[in-house]
Amino acid sequence: MDAIVIQILNGLDKGSAYALIALGLTLIFGTLGVVNFAHGALFMIGAFCAVTFSKFLNLSHIVIDETRKDFLGNPLKVEVPYIYDFFGQATGDAIIDWAVPLSIIFAIPVMIAIGFIMERGLIKHFYKRPHADQILVTFGLAIVLQEVIKYYYGANPIPTPAPAAFAGSFDFGAMLGFDPNQIIYPYWRLVYFAFAAVIIGAVFAFLQFTTFGMVVRAGMADRETVGLLGIDIDKRFTIMFGIAAAVAGLAGVMYAPINSPNYHMGMDFLVLSFVVVVVGGMGSLPGAVLAGFLLGILESFASMAVVLETLPGINQIIIYLVAIIILLTRPRGLMGRKGVMEE
């Protein structure tokens, strides 16, 4: 039983990432009708926003320490962050420690700007082109973005730790009445799950309870009619692209402490996120979220030693297997809408 609980918990945080990426993908597909293969790259850029902000906080000047030697035997050049000069060492250290959560403030405008530039600069030219063209150009863009990141940050993962207050783990099992030390769960993963829930809730609330959201939903249902009413729906859809980019970026920012960011992390999530969108139902926002968590949990279960002993390699194909079964039984996905991608 405790093994099942821990795998559900594991699935929740991975599912959170899938759900956030798939949510953005569905927003873009539902509004602009574009299959955006660069969405994984936006997740990766979000994680690198956290890396960049952390590096920015650690910008230093050199102080020569004559009492210590470097690896060549020369006096050691000690790097002192500028932030110490402004706030003192204790406050400076605390700010650096909280670099990842603080980088959200930095990431939101950056990601919205990147979203705008991507949409206005490249993707809008492909609205009337076949989906194959859109896939090719956005996939190409994803490769360019990840190579740019690799050029500046290198190929190795860059450690980006969570604040010390959330660094450890806690005994979740004991809280539920299981034996002690059987279900251990890291604090940060719980934070990630809660954060994802807030973001998903905020996106739904934005679409459901604001006039802007209402117009966007109307545009998703019938773009032409909304246009005929004199509403500039394209402008609103561009803003939605920026919001979708910000959602992917924030998913990346908060994911940085879970796995050290590297240039390839977007691609690792991209394909699975597309499966999530298809399983959830093309264009269905609740479907994307539901499928994200469902497939995240299934993937966790398939990685259990006892399952792997019975069905070796199942962990690598489970998502695709379930996707096939769902699509065979429900061709529009779990919550797919009639008419989407069917014309």
223 binds other proteins (CB under 8 A): no
Which residue from 95, 96, 136, 184 is in contact with other proteins, where contact means CB under 8 A?
184
Residue from 146, 124, 175 nearest 38 by CA: 146
61 binds other proteins (CB under 8 A): no
268 binds other proteins (CB under 8 A): yes
Hey, what's the torsion of the CAs at 114, 117, 122, 125, to 10 degrees? 130
d(C-alpha 47, C-alpha 250), whole Å: 8
Contact code string over 283-312 relative to other proteins, x by CB under 8 A? ----------------xx-xxxx--x----
68 binds other proteins (CB under 8 A): yes
Interacting residues of 291 by C-beta distance below 8 A, sequence separation 6+: 18, 19, 22, 276, 277, 279, 280, 281, 333, 334
Kindly tell me which of 238 and 300 has the beta carbon lying closer to other proteins. 300
d(C-alpha 314, C-alpha 321), whole Å: 9
Which residue from 232, 259, 311, 320 is in contact with other proteins, where contact means CB under 8 A?
259
Kindly tell me which of 97 and 234 has the beta carbon lying closer to other proteins. 97
72 binds other proteins (CB under 8 A): yes
Sign of CA dihedral 243, 249, 253, 254: positive
236 binds other proteins (CB under 8 A): no
71 binds other proteins (CB under 8 A): yes
d(C-alpha 78, C-alpha 91), whole Å: 19
146 binds other proteins (CB under 8 A): no
Kindly tell me which of 76 and 122 has the beta carbon lying closer to other proteins. 76
Q: Which amino acid would we find at residue 157?
A: P
- Which long-range CB contacts under 8 A does 204-208 form with residues at least 24 apart? 204/285, 204/286, 206/243, 207/285
d(C-alpha 12, C-alpha 38), whole Å: 24
Count of residues binding other proteins (CB under 8 A)?
A: 47
CB of 255 to other proteins, least distance (A): 9
CB of 209 to other proteins, least distance (A): 34
161 binds other proteins (CB under 8 A): yes
Interface region with other proteins, contact rule CB under 8 A, candidates 52-60, 86-94, 127-135, 184-192: 184-192
CB 280 within 8 A of CB 329: no
Kindly tell me which of 29 and 188 has the beta carbon lying closer to other proteins. 188
101 binds other proteins (CB under 8 A): no
Which residue from 18, 185, 237, 274 is in contact with other proteins, where contact means CB under 8 A?
185
Q: Which residues of 15-32 are buried (b: 16+ CB within 10 A; e: fewer)?
A: bbbbbbbbbbbbbbbbbb
Tokens of 49: 């926003």
Tell me the C-alpha to C-alpha distance, in Å, between residue 162 and each of 54, 99, 142, 259: 11, 8, 27, 11
Which residue from 213, 315, 327, 337 is in contact with other proteins, where contact means CB under 8 A?
315
158 binds other proteins (CB under 8 A): yes
Tokens of 264: 């390839």
- Residues lying near other proteins in the complex (CB under 8 A) are found at 2-3, 6-7, 10-11, 13-14, 68, 70-72, 76, 150, 154-159, 161, 168-170, 181-182, 184-186, 188-189, 258-260, 262, 264-265, 268, 299-300, 302-305, 308, 315-316
